Amino acid sequence: MDFFQRQDNARRKTSLLVLLFVIAVLLVVVAVNGAIFVIFKFSNSYEFDTAQWWLGAPAAYTALGTLLVIIAGSLTCYIKLGSGGVAVAKMAGAERVDLNSRSSEIRTYINVVEEMSIAAGLPVPEIFIMPQELAINAFVAGYTPADTVVVITQGALVTLSRDELQGVIGHEFSHILHADTLINLRLMALLAGILFVGDIGQFLMRSSSRGRHSSRRSKEEGGMLLLGLALAIIGYVGVFMGRLIKAAVSRQREFLADASSVQFTRNPEGIAGALFTIDQHTSSSYLTHTIQAESMNHMCFGETVKIGFSKLLASHPPIRERIDALGGSMFARVRSKNRNKQQPAPVNEQTKTSADLPKEAKGFASGSSTSASPVTNKKNVNELPPISYVSPVKKNAGANTSSFKTATGEVSVEDVDHARLLLQRLPEEVHQLTHTPSGAALIIICLIAKENNLSEKEITSVYNQSGFNFPPVGTITTIFALTERIDNQLRMPVLELCSPTLKTLDTKQRETLIFSLFSLAKSDGKISLFEFLCLSFLELQLPAKVRKPKIRQTYKLHELSDELDTILTLIYQAGVPHQDEAAAKTILEDSIHRLCGGKSQQPLTSKRNTREVSAAFNKLRDLSPLLKPAVLDAATDLILADNVITTKEYDVLRVIASCLDCPMPALMIRK
């Protein structure tokens, strides 16, 4: 099953989830009706018989009230989860990791996440830690890859080795690739409504209990206490049904995620060792410092709460079964390997000391910024120049294309090794600067300024317009010199490293930064291909609000014929300087005809402006998962017209894949 089929199956699972939820809601409604009927029947408060209750207005009103309570609970949770993965992390009591920490454990954690992200072609997620949790656990959460966060416990950070941590992170990234994170959030919101019934019951019990101490117990108070007790019991029944649903949705995919982690790392002992350590750890994987442990159970690496009847209700298979599934003798191997392993004492606080930066760039360690309004006239920015194309790298810098078209959503150990090499090639000073908002912003400004040959004064002005304080004297020159060492193949990975840092800016700061970058890009009267791709990528990764997948999707490609025409023509024009123009033109026309059933509506030589291409990107995001491979295949065929993939061509494809929420591993260029 390929990536796109898994995404489509994940969306279909939502239908199964809704069906199970509806069944659970009906059972809760019947149970609430039964509880209230019994209380009223035996309290002699009202005179009615069974038929009058169940077939009349009382049962209908009770059912309506119960449904409203469940809907209110689910809707409240859904609103709380509006910011996607960050909302879940905060609900769990997690804190953002200081990306400039000198702690060796934190540095390892950051490096593993960045390597895995670049290898998988996924946006680098925001990185969190649960500092009070001494158990070993982790989770990822988010509606789309762009708003995903990765979270681990303090116990996992200080207890696991690098190989074990990489195995856990590989497992969690598998959930992103399989679109499990979307299902997890929807499941969390739906089940919150059922649990809300039990919360109301507990509230009524506490209220009645307080009433007994302040006044004489009356029949009404007794009835309220019984009603609260009944609703609390029904709430526990709701928990039981919620666990059943979680088990039905989650259990088998944990085996798949474990297997995928082995595929990513080629080291089964890594994740097996982590599972064995959980089995032997004094705190296991149970979360004790968050009230969300129950609701998050299905999205974590291991069980977050102790569950009775675990064979029926657990969201995860038993640890021994998970280890054995990785290899017949794996449990014995990891037990032997870990026999003499010492458990390090857990630490409750992160080391939050900034790493050393270049002398002239120390002012960026804090990442401080101020909100500033753009001084450039918006009307001028909206005068959109055409996208210009610069000749790409030479043909002898092409890539091996044999398995390129099947790379989407797949991660190999070679991809992980290549990502590690890319990060090693990146100047360490630049890597450190990507970890602060001010440093990340200045790196991107300098990359765009290189395209326009701007002076230090002009760069400083744009930087200040972006909402940041004036940098120390000499900083611009130093960082601009550092960006000169970033070759074309490293520019997209650098943008990916900058994106999670820039996500910490508030909405106004993000908009101001992108606005200033757009002004900078068009300062020479045109927008280069890299400038456009850079701005498009940042707009995708730094939206004003979290983009949730639409329920209604586009299922017919011809409905987006103009948008597909625009995107494919963009790729054609980017590759023409080094391709066989006639062959590329033939492939373009065939692709448009195959996808849309017609011919291009615009001359192939006409330049597309940024507004047209951005609008096309936004429309393509709503494609059904099963239609996305046809678009990527057409784009890839066009790029491979001469059997060569250049860095610039790959960057175009990478942004298109990001628009479609499709992971695209980093390209391995032959030197």
Find the largest Cα–Cα distance for the chain: 94
Backbone torsion region of residue 667, taken as left when φ is above 0, otherwise alpha when ψ lies between -120 and 50, otherwise beta: beta
Q: Quote the distance between the C-alpha of residue 497 and its chain's center.
A: 14
CA atoms within 13 A of residue 60's CA, in its CB half-sphere = 5
* Residue corresponding to tokens 């023509």: 569
CA–CA gap between residue 268 and residue 214 (Å, rounded): 63
Q: How far is CA 298 from CA 108, 181, 250, in A?
A: 26, 10, 6
CA angle 72–77–83, rounded 5-degree value: 140
**CB neighbours (10 Å) of residue 590?**
13
- Nearest-CA neighbor of 139 among 260, 304, 300? 300
172 is catalytic: yes
Could you give the CA distance from residue 664 to residue 250 in angstroms, rounded to a whole number?
Answer: 26
Given a contact cutoff of 8 angstroms between Cβ atoms, the answer to whether 155 and 112 are in contact is: no
Distance in angstroms (rounded) separating the CA atoms of residues 165 and 111: 11
Q: Which two tokens stand for residue 135?
A: 């158990």
Report the candidate in 263, 356, 668 with the shortest Cα–Cα distance to residue 493: 668
- Angstrom distances, CA of residue 467 to CA of 169, 435, 440, 550: 34, 17, 13, 33
What is the Cα–Cα distance from 202 to 527, expressed in whole angstroms? 61
Residue among 126, 172, 496, 612 flagged as catalytic: 172
Query: What would the two tokens of residue 9 be?
Result: 């199956």
In the numeric block, which tokens belong to residue 526?
A: 């045109």
If you compute the radius of gyration of the chain from its CA atoms, what whole number of angstroms results?
28
For 404-469, strand residue ranges (E) read: none
> Which residues does the annotation mark as catalytic?
172
